[in-house]
A and B are shown apart, each in its own frame.
Chain A
Amino acid sequence: MQAVKNAVIAAAGMGTRLGAGKPKSLIKINGKALLEYQLSLLANVENVFLVVGFMEEDVMTFASKIRRDIIFVRNANFQHTKTLGSFYLAARNINGSAIFMDGDMIIEPRTFAKFLETAARLDDNELLIAVSKRISDDPVYCAIEQRGDDLRIHGFSFEEKSAYEWANVVYMPAGLMINGSSHTFEHLQKFLPAAAKVIDRLEIDTPEDLRGAEKFFKTNDWFGIN
């Protein structure tokens, strides 16, 4: 068993739907920035790559105070790329596998820890795709087959409804990332079927999401802070 060594967080986007006038990763929820929640999940991962773009210096100044040894990857073309493009910029120099995660959500730590444990047990060339119980308004559904505790994902779809949706987190060999303009899940389609694991999460895309998250944390203590 080899512990997960590399993690990539895509935080280059403008977060326009949130309209906060600052990068989404710096938005505070219950007094803690979105990025702090994500970094706290990766305390035991040796190399953390944070892809920055929009207001990059603000993000770097803030993030380096939380974790000094972050490797910042610049996506100067952030206005014209999707998450996959940001992932690729970090992936191109990573040897071995990495966790790739979108920076626009809060993930529940216990389910994420299980995801890390499962990822560490995989063979070198295997993928582990995170799915979650449906939370999005416009979900990417996942066709899931369950065998005991093990889940396998067979496909992504906007139409074929399912209880699970794509969670924007994947553990995979960095060499399989490409520099594309498609959605990450469209690229992952090539590698299915693959192992899947459920994580709980909250997406922060809109002002409603933000209010919803603050309300959610009044009754759900994911981070032991209440």
Chain B
Amino acid sequence: MSEIAEAVGDGVLPGRVWLYANYHCNLTCTYCLTESAPKVAKRELGAQRMLEVAAQARALGFTSLGVTGGEPFLLSYLTETIIEMAEMLPIVVLTNGTLFTRARLEEARGLTGAPVAIQISLDSADPVANDTMRGPENFRRVVAAIDALVARGVRVRIATTAEHIDEHELERLCQLHRGLGVADEDHIVRPILRRGRAIDSGLGVDTDLIDLPPELTITADGAYWSPFGPTVHGGRLDTDLLVSRTTSPLDKPANILLRLVQGRARGDDAKLDIR
């Protein structure tokens, strides 16, 4: 058993490896950590590299994968790549949910029954409040996508990112996702982090290592402490949570991450509920 497998088994390291598939996005959300937008640098990882990371992660003893961006579904090869990755490890794919055209939904049939969850961002049950943060028509498109994916037997999770959410708002949101066929355990609520565009929008909470679970995150630019690490501000990639520029073979950044985790002061990362 590798040292990494042992650390994952003992709960010292989280089991999930994240991959930043790309950085560009069809939306320009006010709190986006990576300042993603249609015309930013793509920083694309590529299908081949994604498959390599998945294979190496499994061999090392990691237990699941996450794919994020940018908007991963802007990549024509994404669905096919996810299906192949899911043969190696269970996978969650984060998306804004606005690109599920009829053709894309047909492709998504390949995800049915696979250990794949599509995690879609939905920030409010109020279309106006949601669209203020995420752009015009976002609410309508997202609700339609969730409905269509669930109807095709694809597991959908909903992620709500919010500055504040009161009980009444949360209840409205929960009624909405339950009505769409998404169970309570597949709804996560998380805070806005003060990184990326959230800094300029005056949103979010400050974070450091103690707040962020050490989930190995692979990007085109290097390996990071967490998927909340490889953020962009002022068009410049943040480096404060960079683990290593080397990402292959995966055991190199994984072992550095483990070394950093073992050297970290003990703390409670639960209070900000960042996931």
Q: Do A and B bind each other?
A: no
Interface, chain B (partner A; CB < 8 A): none
